Structure 1
């Protein structure tokens, strides 16, 4: 069975830098790949800040922080970045055309032994694997945000994923201090098939004036013991990501219950994507931890 030592992570955004951080913290050599050095520098800066928080909390030593950072090398050239790695984890934007292009390139840039994983939160692993010549080596490795903290990894087998690759991915996830859960390859897998309709229903409740933003979130936090209300969570995930996942569910199942709320569609179209853009259902001010409802929804 292949031994995983060297890992490439494609994408240095929220999920990518979190995945790189986690692998590097557990002693893996990581090639972090993105299209620009500016994006990579931003990703490394985020990793550095998150490591500092771990040191401040006493969960990591200063020496371990430095060792983690030294395990990460950045690349703007994908071919160079994935050379001689045992595993690639793709963590690019949740866009099927982009992911298919990346996997076509990976098929020619990597060896026949390299495992190709995707962090997709909803797109078919089987479809992604179909553009490669080694579908048996393609698997879903869906981490949760924030990656260094959240324990779950959804491990999704494509139709042709081998038993060996599935077993290796499960064991690898455990080495990262995670709890892997194997699920089958259907739209949204398990996490988002259940989560996104809930978020969509919360948005419909706002759209239909059942209650305001804070009221909806308060009901779910206090009544259902959720640590974060669904509208705040949607902002945290990214409203554009929520919309993409709902579209995958709606198209994949052909069931109208997954149709995204028109309010969500309008917000994303207008550029209100949540925390990443500074405003969604709430308004986000740099340096402030106070939640303020967007002026669009103040009652």
Structure 2
């Protein structure tokens, strides 16, 4: 059985290449966001969330499919959802970069297939993948540079089954870290950034270049880790962020091809603008930037959403998921 791309599961009709609701599952909540065009602008149409029963989703794994179906059905009815753009958890995904020779230009997808088994612990028959071309080599003979995302097929099917049980129709899946990046990094910014997003039960650490996540790590948090507004786990976060940035620097043995230092650390998610968290992250030695989750959607001078700034930080993944249609336009 051959490998399958995300779009083998979700072939996208042309009429669906338009704003559609994004939907993201976390351990504690299901959240949705939808945008709409008003004249030449995009504005926030609606947003909302549904609390998930404890233990429904744990570390990216569906533990209680019936409870999750019930919560998603409630969300569907509240917001009249049907076609949705979804996110898959980082814990279940593999990311890698590879180079494709110019000979593979006519069929990059097939060329990427040949690199999967040497980069992730999955056979082709077990893998569902997507990729983005980061550099096409220009007019010369330089190879294509490609960022690849791979998820086990059984993971994709487990989420797909629950969505369909709730009478929802996913037609696009995004890796969680990439969805965050689509919201918090300007879509035309090719620079290198470190990104930290604080979820309800974990923290994601990413290195981003040309809007693609190159390295990521996840730190689990206890159920009450974010209740006090204190950050005893910040030391572990700094250590993990240093590792991810170090992996980034050392991804190539060829000294001439080493990548640059991240220009800044972008912070999003819960407590993104908390001064104590900013202070705890100073040992990383990077300029700190609090995320603007709307920068790829609208200017706050043109439209002011009724979602508060603090709440909006937590909506970054689902905002990115809802924006995924723009990559097709």
Measured against the shorter chain, the TM-score band is under 0.3
Which is richer in helix?
1
Higher relative contact order (CA 8 A, sep 6+): 2
Normalised by the length of structure 1, the TM-score is: 0.27
Greater share of strand: 2
* TM-score, normalisation: structure 2: 0.26
